Amino acid sequence: MSQVKAYSLFTDFDISLFKAGKHFKLYEKFGAHSMQFEGEGGVYFSVWAPSAKSVAVVGDFNYWDGSEHMLNVRWDSSGIWEGFIPLAKKGMRYKFKITSNNNNIITEKVDPYAHYFERSPNTASIIWDIKDYTWKDKNWMGYRKDKNDLDKPYSVYEVQLGSWKKNSEGEFLSYRELAVELVNYVKEMNFTHVELMPIMEYPYDPSWGYQLIGYFAPTSRFGSPQDFMYLIDAFHQNDIGVILDWVPAHFPSDQHGLGLFDGTHLYEHPDTKKGYHPDWKSLIFNYERNEVRSFLISNALFWLEYYHIDGLRVDAVASMIYLDYSREEGEWEPNIFGGNQNLEAVSFLKDFNTAVYNNFEGVQTIAEESTAFSGVTKPVDQGGLGFGMKWMMGWMHDTLAYFSKDPIHRKFHQNELTFSLAYAFTENFMLPLSHDEVVHGKKSLLSKQPGDEWQRFANLRTLYAFMFMHPGAKLLFMGSEFAQYEEWNFEKSLDWNLLEFLPHKGMLNFVKDLNLFYKETPALYEKAFSTEGFEWIAYDDNENSVLSFLRKGHDSENDILVVCNFTPTLKVNYKIGLNKKGYIKEIFNSDLLPYGGSGVKNAESVEVSHDTWNQRKFSASITLPPLGVVVFQHVDE
């Protein structure tokens, strides 16, 4: 006989919002909630399983016996099963035992809204309370908007927590250990933000976290939910914003997960042309189903509310918005207008972004979107998808292709560097050098560079400097800041021992200073997404493989001149056109000795002459170090 007491957290209004795809706080209703009812302590459980014949809660409180605690189905055809179980309490493991109307198949499923899970490879959900953490980031949350706006510096350190660093026994660092080691490191390196590759609970380590089971739970690999809050809190207390990778595109088909949840295609689209991802062998959410939309948007808002997250980087957006993504002819069907856009996914993304920006101030959403889809960062009310930023994948691919070439051939490929400026202001772009570029045989960023050892390091410094001077926000994957030799391997720590060697230590010093220069130079971020923030001096000096341009902020007195030499040839008396008379002084140089460079510098100040050059009234003769980027600022007479 069931020992479940009838109880509900759902109002009629909740149900109507859920069915309409407009309930964005489902985490307050679904799942396991510790409470008092009729003088007894226990847990209220609820789960959506409209095609279930019966749903039982099995766990530590009933010896995993599926006959003791049968939930009650609501009368309103919502498909919600619920009830209060007096014996359940925090820390106990549980699952939902679902008997389907479809051939009476019985499966044990995790709670889609669980806040905590057993350590992988175990799979049970754990009853947990996440409201008992005392945050200490009030200051950050108060001025976050001023740190996180699009006219502020955005230098992001991308991290996979399991492989950033391991302890002396080769085991994961805990969230609380990372709150010391990783936070101090990111702060010392002068990054403004950290981006964590997916930390939601996932069953399979080689997925790097991109195939999620527990959308509402930080993985227990590194500690408890409160431990993860402690890590976020530590970042915020050190003025570092936190971005989470979020994966609403697909999920794994593991038997205990969301797939065939109630014996039917509940969360995934029933048509494999829309519901199965051939590349990742995973299931695709059904964006046509309102309850699924409510689940996903509630999940996004959950991390922003309960974990004080500052931004969500949305993974694999292109796979969501195109019906023919990674599919051959005959493997997809056009939409009602005959096109290849997934109209429901597009609509979902608009609803997601609208909900995020309407409910939270000072946050950003960032799209990993690799196509020319128009209006990704355009406001929804103007016909766009509504993201705050978009990864500039074209810049990444073109720039890495250019830098992989021997400098002797670069004069024939200068357009690979300049092309990005033809569309740089069509979206709010973030320039990524991400994890995807240093795995699967693509080699590390250092190994992509041509030449001898000195030239490889100089090339890499030039690449980073060009990236930071180029309009847009910045993202650098862990290990790249000290020029890791090997590709990233998720199974082991980064090669921190390389810092014993001067070239790697020099690269670390360079990135630290580059970040600081970026943060302290308003011209590099105040108009990073506007044509007003950039002006070419010369993009056509192919013969010398030199690019020169101005970056501009709100105050023209802070404008800077950037000159890039992409060859190993020292260039003395290189003439550059200028808009003002007076002097220019060198304020940044990628070739300094502490960075492992050759130490070539300009004089303390360089006089500007009245000679016309580059179609400008004034000019100056400067020295360009080999494979180097030099930045100047104007000084009045």
Cβ distance 566 to 462 under 8 Å? Answer: yes
Please tell me what DSSP assigns to residue 5. Answer: B
How many Cα atoms occupy the beta-carbon half-sphere of 615 within 13 Å?
A: 6
177 has catalytic annotation: no
Integer angstrom CA distances of residue 264 from 115, 268, 320, 454: 24, 9, 22, 60
Q: Would you call 119 exposed, middle or buried from its count of C-beta atoms within 10 A (0-12, 13-18, 19+)?
A: exposed
Of 161, 148, 55, 62, nearest in space to 101 by CA: 55
Rg of the chain taking only CA atoms, in angstroms: 27
Residue 609, classed as helix, strand or coil, is strand
Between CA 453 and CA 275 the distance in angstroms is 48
Question: Catalytic: 329?
Answer: no
Annotated catalytic residue within 291, 315, 416, 437: 315
The C-alpha atoms of residue 566 and residue 507 are separated, in whole angstroms, by: 18
**Strand pairing report for 276-277 and 72-73:** unpaired
Query: Which string of b and e fits 20-53 if b means at least 16 CB within 10 Å?
Result: ebebbebbebbbbbeeeeeeeebbbbbbbbbbbb
Residues 6+ positions from 422 with CB-CB distance below 8 Å: none
Q: Are 114 and 125 in contact, with CB atoms under 8 Å apart?
A: yes
Residue (of 13, 44, 18, 49) closest to 31 by Cα position:
44
586 within 8 A of 601, measured Cβ to Cβ: yes
Beta strands in 470-582 (DSSP E): 473-477, 534-541, 546-551, 560-565, 571-578
- Phi and psi at residue 396, in whole multiples of 5°? -60, -50
Rounded CA-CA distance 100/438 in Å is 44
Q: Six-digit token pair at 562? A: 């950037």
* Run of H or E residues at 245: strand 241-246
The catalytic residue among 310, 368, 437, 513 is 368
Do residues 560 and 631 touch, judged by C-beta distance below 8 A?
yes
Beta bridge mates, 101: none
**DSSP H/E element including 553:** none
Amino acid at 416: E
In terms of DSSP bridges, do strands 155-159 and 193-196 run parallel, antiparallel, or are they unpaired? Answer: parallel
Which are the catalytic amino acids? Answer: 315, 368
